Amino acid sequence: MKRKYLYIGLAVLVAILVGIIAYYNIANKDRWYNNTTINGIDVSGLTLQQSKDKIQKSLDGYTLTIKGRNNGTMTIDGDDINYKATVSKKIENAFSDAHKGISFPFKSYSYSLVHDVTYNASKLANVIKKSELVKGSKTYKVRAPRPVYIAYSTSKKSYQVNDAEPGNTIDTDGLTKAVVKSFKSVSKTLDISTSKYNSCYKTAKETASRSELQNRLAAYNNKGLRYITWTIAEGHTETMTPDDIAKMLYWANGKVAVNDEKLQAYVEKLCLKYKTVGQKRTYTSHTGKKLSTTEGDYGWRVDYAKAIAQARQAMNKAIPQDSTDAYVKDQSEDNIKAVTLKYDIPWYSKSTYKINWNNFKDDWDQKNYTEVDLGAQMVYVFRNGKVAYSTPCISGKPVPGRKTTTGAFFIKEHQMNRTLIGENYQTPVKYWVRITWTGTGFHAAPWQSWGSWSPSYYKSRGSHGCINLSMGSAAKMYSITKYGEMVFMHY
C-alpha cells in the first residue's frame, strides 16, 4: 500500500515539473530564455527585437581600451575611425536554435556573435601609429626586445649571461589584427599584456648559441675585469675600475671591443680634474685693485695624448685567464692586484707653488709673485703680500709679432748669459729669466736709452716681446725671483 502511494507521489511530482517546464517554454516562445547572454550582454526575457535594440545601443558610441605591457594604455574612439557596427543577422539563427528544443529554467546560454562592422582602415592605422603604445612618452618608455645577453653586474663585480627581455615594442600588424577582432566582437577592452597576445609585440632574434655566449662571457670578463691606476703624486692615485670599463665595452667582429670615444671621454675628464692651467686667477695689483685672468700657462696640466695612449695600452694588454677567473670567484686584495695595471700620470706641466688636495686649484703663492703692468711699463715684485721691489721696463712693440703676451705664467729658468735668436736678429743678453716657452722673459737691455724712458717709450722702441730691463734692474730680478713663481702680465 505504501509503495502505491509513493508511486502516485512521484507521478504527481513529475507531472508538476513537466507542467512547469512546458509553461516555461510556452511563456518564452517569443523571448530569450533566462540566463542568456550575447557577447556578454544580458538579453534574458527580451524579445528578439528588444535584444537587437539593446545590443545595437551597446554598439553605438563604441570605444576600445587597450592595456599593454608595462602598464601602457591606449583608447580607440569609434568616431575617430568611422566605426559602425550593426547587429549580426546571425542573431536570428541563434534565437531560432534556442527555441528548437526544450529549455530548462535554470540552464545558462551564452552566444558569441561576430557583428557586421565597418571602419576606416587608414584612420585606424594612423591612430595606432600615433599612440603612446607605439611612440612612447615621457612617462611610458618603449623598449626594444633583447635576446639573451651579457652584461656587467655591479653586485657580482663580473659579467653575467642574462635572460632575454621581451621589451614592449609594438608589432603594428599584430596589434591591428587583435584590434579588428575586438571590433567584430564589440569587445570594450583588450589586454595585450598577456602571453595570448605576444603577436602584438616584436620579438628579438637570438644572435648566439648558449655555448657561444659562454665563450663571449669569458672574453668579456678577461677584457673588462681590470683596474688601471695612475699615480698622481705620492699617496694619491686615480683608478679606472671594472665598473667604469663596463660602460665602454661592446661585441664586434667576433671579439670584445672598446669604444674609443668613451675611453677618451674618461681620460679627458681625468685630465680636466687636475688641470689648473687656464682657470680664472684673481690677484691684487700694486694699486690694491683686484685683477683677474684666465690666460697663460701657469698651473697643472696632464699630457692628454700620453694619458690616452696609456689607457689604450692598458686596455689591450693581455691578462692571464687564471687571474681573471680567480677575480671572478673572489675579489680579494691579492686578486685585484693581479688584474691591476699601473702608470704614472704623464704631466705636461706641473711647475706650481704647491698642491692642495682639498682644493687642487689652490696652487699658487698669493703673497709672493710678480706683476708686470704693461700699460704703465712697470714691474712689481711682491713679497709677503707687499711690493718689495719695482722697476721700469720696456715690453714688446705693439705691432703684430712683437706685442708682449698677457696672462699668468711661471718662471721657467734663470740663465746668466743667453743669446736670443729671432727672424732677423741674434742678441746676447745677461740675466735671462724665462717667462714663456715661446721666448718671452726678463733680461738686461743696455742698448735701450733708459734716461729717455717713459710709459709710452715701448710704442716706438719696444722689444720683440721680452721685458727689457736696465742692467741693475735685470740683476735684481735675476736674484729676487724664483723658479716656478707666478708672473702676471696685463695691460
Q: Which active-site residues does the annotation give?
A: 443, 466
- DSSP string for 308-364: HHHHHHHHHS---HHHHHHHHH---HHHHHHTEEEEE--EEE---S---TTSTT--S
d(CA 61, CA 65): 13
Provide φ and ψ at 72, rounded to 5°: -80, 145
Give the integer Cα–Cα distance in Å for 246 and 224. 6
Looking at beta carbons, which pairs linking 51-58 to residues 24 or more positions away fall under 8 Å? 51/91, 51/95, 52/87, 52/91, 55/87, 55/91, 55/115, 56/86, 56/87, 58/186
Which of 381, 375, 402, 379 lies closest to 457, judged by CA? Answer: 375
**What secondary structure letter does DSSP report for 170?**
B
| Cα–Cα dist 407/293, whole Å | 6
Q: What is the rounded CA–CA span in Å between residue 356 and residue 310?
A: 26
Q: Around 141, how many Cα atoms within 13 Å sit in the side-chain half-sphere?
A: 4
